[in-house]
């Protein structure tokens, strides 16, 4: 055991409850490297109380001071980004370059949040009626909470808390218990940046902690990112308890390849987007819907590239793909290779026999696999695999590809590969998916746009960060005001009619 990870409440470490802990693994060695406290209602209650106590002071802190704190946090984050990436890689397993990319994308949301004074400007209308002005102001909600998944332990929390805190809210983060350490470094950096105690808190835990947050009367809003079944549960439970909620769920992202596409670009993209982070990305390409006439050619190009992929520990510079997050998850992902073949697919590349460079045999390894001739009824197509398995679905033409994507219950990301601008334009219009790439396989929006899917990939109506994030973390108040000169009262006296403007 190398570490014990505990909560961060009111600006300091907070342990408990006694005897309820989870193991933290190094996925490349398969060994337990630490333990994490799993909060119950008492720890969650303490975190919410600390956030509630900090709220009045933070809400009333001037925008200039809030922004100065954000800028200091941004600089500390930049200075510590390698440290943060190393923590992510050690507990998640992803390679260091990928972990650095995750930190960089989170940092972009902090950059965005530094512009909060502009984003919080309301509107003002002079003389909506004679001598009457009307204006709107955006106010924070209070204590807001973020519940996040294992696959981006730094970036996904940073989709949420920089914007929430910039808007004047206080925050309770419940990160994934599988890779909890990144969130504590973020908490320490906030403290060093001068954020008042209690504005940012972290409670670790599992369902018990989540339920305590969802039911707590002093939590005003919940942002969730994770799998679809849990997103649906969080959405319903939080709404039932009167909270504002956005819950981003799972994905099954299709890459459509038309016959006129640049097939080398398509093959590079399918391999990068399918196997980056071992396929444990909600924007990973999972299904390649390729028009039959170019399917064999594309498969050959993908196969060549996959054979050259270097799989190994995340902290080894040679590695391009690391292990999976847990043994159970690795076994579950591998089971789709068997069920796929049983249900009629062809195993074109078998990741179970891919060489692993320098990894311990007990590590949670599974190399990149490709299933060909996958059909929409197979479980490897219907279910989210969330691992390094690319499914090739052969289609007759563009229309069949679009039907396939639109019939799929998920709608997170998709991409089309073509050199036909008209087809691409039609695709962006017709496709029922929240984030669309055109010759771009992982179309993750920049921080100043919003991130979110459609259908079963998002419950609620606001996406993360961008102006939708500001909208989610604020509520609008509209003031109608009359100031008259002393002694110059408006005429009319008592009038029980509905107010009209004039």
Catalytic residue IDs = 282
Three-class SS state of 394 = strand
Which residue, 438, 432, 377, 381, is CA-closest to 406? 432
274-293: which residues touch ligand NAD (CB under 6 A)?
282
Task: Examine residue 80 and tell whether it contacts ligand NAD (CB under 6 A).
Answer: no
Integer angstrom CA distances of residue 95 from 91, 106, 312: 11, 17, 8
Opening angle at CA 111, ends 80 and 121, nearest 5: 145
210 touches 238 (CB < 8 A): no
**Residue 93 corresponds to which tokens in the numbers above?**
């397993």
Strands (E), 278-368: 285-291, 346-349
In whole angstroms, the minimum distance from the beta carbon of 488 to ligand NAD comes to 57
Helix (H) or strand (E) holding 436: strand 435-438
Tell me which stretch binds ligand NAD (CB under 6 A): 112-120, 149-157, 270-278, 359-367: 149-157
Task: Examine residue 81 and tell whether it contacts ligand NAD (CB under 6 A).
Answer: no
312 touches 357 (CB < 8 A): yes
Which residue, 83, 78, 79, is CA-closest to 104? 78
22-51: which residues touch ligand NAD (CB under 6 A)?
none
Q: What are phi and psi of 285, to 5 degrees?
A: -80, 130
Residue 58 or 159: the one with the smaller Cβ distance to ligand NAD is 159
Q: Spell out the SS3 assignment of 42-92.
A: HHHHHHHHHHHHHHHHHHCCCHHHHHHHHHHHHHHHHHCHHHHHHHHHHHH
CA distance 424 to 153: 34
Tell me which stretch binds ligand NAD (CB under 6 A): 97-105, 170-178, 255-263, 417-425: 170-178
Residue 164 or 251: the one with the smaller Cβ distance to ligand NAD is 251
Question: Which one among 25, 73, 150, 364 touches ligand NAD, defined by CB under 6 A?
Answer: 150
Q: CA dihedral defined by 449, 451, 452, 453, rounded to 10 degrees?
A: 90
Binding to ligand NAD by CB under 6 A, coded x per residue (else -) over 194-233, reads ------------xx--x--------------xxx--x--x
In whole angstroms, the minimum distance from the beta carbon of 493 to ligand NAD comes to 58
**Residue 399 corresponds to which tokens in the numbers above?**
């229309």
Binding to ligand NAD by CB under 6 A, coded x per residue (else -) over 352-371, reads --------------------
Tell me which stretch binds ligand NAD (CB under 6 A): 19-27, 75-83, 142-150, 356-364: 142-150
Three-class SS state of 421 = helix
CA distance 319 to 356: 9
Half-sphere exposure of 218 (CA within 13 A, CB side): 17
Residue 106 or 250: the one with the smaller Cβ distance to ligand NAD is 250
Residue 82 or 328: the one with the smaller Cβ distance to ligand NAD is 328
**Residue 353 corresponds to which tokens in the numbers above?**
């026999």
Binding residue count for ligand NAD, defined by CB under 6 A: 28
**Nearest residue relative to ligand NAD (C-beta):** 226
Tell me which stretch binds ligand NAD (CB under 6 A): 82-90, 135-143, 150-158, 185-193: 150-158
Task: Examine residue 388 and tell whether it contacts ligand NAD (CB under 6 A).
Answer: no
In whole angstroms, the minimum distance from the beta carbon of 463 to ligand NAD comes to 9
In whole angstroms, the minimum distance from the beta carbon of 147 to ligand NAD comes to 5
412-471: which residues touch ligand NAD (CB under 6 A)?
412, 453, 457
**How many residues in total does the chain contain?**
502
Q: How would DSSP label each residue in 275-299? A: HGGGG-STT-EEEEEEEHHHHHHHH
Three-class SS state of 259 = coil
Task: Examine residue 326 and tell whether it contacts ligand NAD (CB under 6 A).
Answer: no
Residue 263 or 435: the one with the smaller Cβ distance to ligand NAD is 435
In whole angstroms, the minimum distance from the beta carbon of 252 to ligand NAD comes to 9
Question: Which one among 27, 142, 149, 259 touches ligand NAD, defined by CB under 6 A?
Answer: 149
In whole angstroms, the minimum distance from the beta carbon of 48 to ligand NAD comes to 17
CA distance 425 to 423: 5
In whole angstroms, the minimum distance from the beta carbon of 223 to ligand NAD comes to 11
Residue 69 or 148: the one with the smaller Cβ distance to ligand NAD is 148
Footprint of ligand NAD (CB under 6 A): 147-152, 156, 174, 176-177, 206-207, 210, 225-227, 230, 233, 248-251, 282, 384, 386, 412, 453, 457
């Amino acid at each position: 055991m190398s570490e014990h990870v505990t909560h961060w409440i009111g600006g300091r470490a907070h342990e408990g409850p006694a005897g309820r802990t989870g193991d933290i693994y190094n996925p490349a060695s398969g060994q337990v490297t630490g333990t994490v406290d799993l909060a119950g209602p008492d720890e969650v209650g303490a975190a919410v109380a600390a956030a509630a106590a900090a709220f009045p002071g933070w809400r009333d802190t001037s925008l200039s001071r809030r922004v100065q704190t954000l800028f200091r946090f941004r600089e500390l984050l930049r200075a510590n980004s390698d440290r943060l990436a190393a923590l992510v890689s050690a507990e998640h397993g992803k390679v260091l370059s990928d972990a650095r990319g995750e930190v960089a994308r989170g940092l972009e949301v902090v950059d965005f949040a530094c512009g909060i004074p502009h984003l919080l400007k309301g509107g003002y209308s002079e003389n909506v009626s004679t001598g009457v002005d009307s204006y709107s102001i955006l106010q924070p909600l209070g204590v807001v909470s973020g519940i996040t998944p294992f696959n981006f332990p730094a970036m996904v929390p940073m989709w949420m808390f920089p914007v929430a805190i910039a808007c004047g809210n206080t925050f309770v983060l419940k990160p994934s218990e599988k890779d909890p350490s990144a969130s504590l470094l973020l908490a320490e950096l906030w403290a060093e940046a001068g954020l008042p105690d209690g504005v940012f808190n972290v409670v670790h835990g599992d369902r018990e902690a989540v339920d305590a947050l969802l039911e707590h009367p002093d939590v005003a809003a919940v942002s969730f990112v994770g799998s679809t079944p849990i997103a649906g549960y969080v959405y319903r439970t939080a709404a039932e308890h009167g909270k504002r909620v956005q819950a981003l769920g799972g994905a099954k992202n299709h890459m459509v390849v038309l016959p006129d596409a640049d097939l080398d670009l398509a093959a590079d993209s399918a391999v990068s987007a399918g196997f980056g982070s071992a396929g444990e990305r909600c924007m990973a390409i999972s299904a390649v819907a390729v028009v039959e006439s170019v399917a064999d050619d594309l498969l050959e190009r993908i196969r060549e590239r996959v054979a050259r992929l270097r799989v190994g520990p995340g902290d080894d510079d040679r590695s391009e793909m690391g292990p999976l997050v847990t043994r159970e998850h690795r076994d579950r992902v591998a089971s789709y290779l068997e069920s796929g073949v049983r249900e009629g697919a062809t195993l074109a590349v078998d990741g179970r026999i891919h060489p692993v460079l320098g990894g311990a045999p007990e590590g949670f390894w599974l190399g990149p696999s490709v299933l060909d001739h996958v059909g929409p009824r197979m479980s490897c197509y219907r279910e989210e695999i969330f691992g390094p398995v690319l499914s090739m679905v052969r289609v007759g033409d563009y229309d069949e590809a679009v039907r396939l994507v639109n019939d799929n219950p998920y709608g997170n990301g998709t991409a089309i590969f073509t050199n036909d601008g008209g087809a691409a334009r039609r695709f962006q219009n017709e496709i029922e998916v929240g984030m669309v790439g055109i010759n771009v396989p992982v179309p993750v929006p920049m921080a100043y746009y919003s991130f979110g899917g459609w259908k079963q990939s998002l419950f609620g109506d606001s996406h993360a960060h961008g102006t939708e994030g500001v909208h989610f973390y604020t509520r609008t108040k509209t003031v109608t005001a009359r100031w008259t000169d002393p002694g110059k009262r408006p005429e009319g006296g008592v009038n029980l009619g509905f107010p009209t403007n004039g």
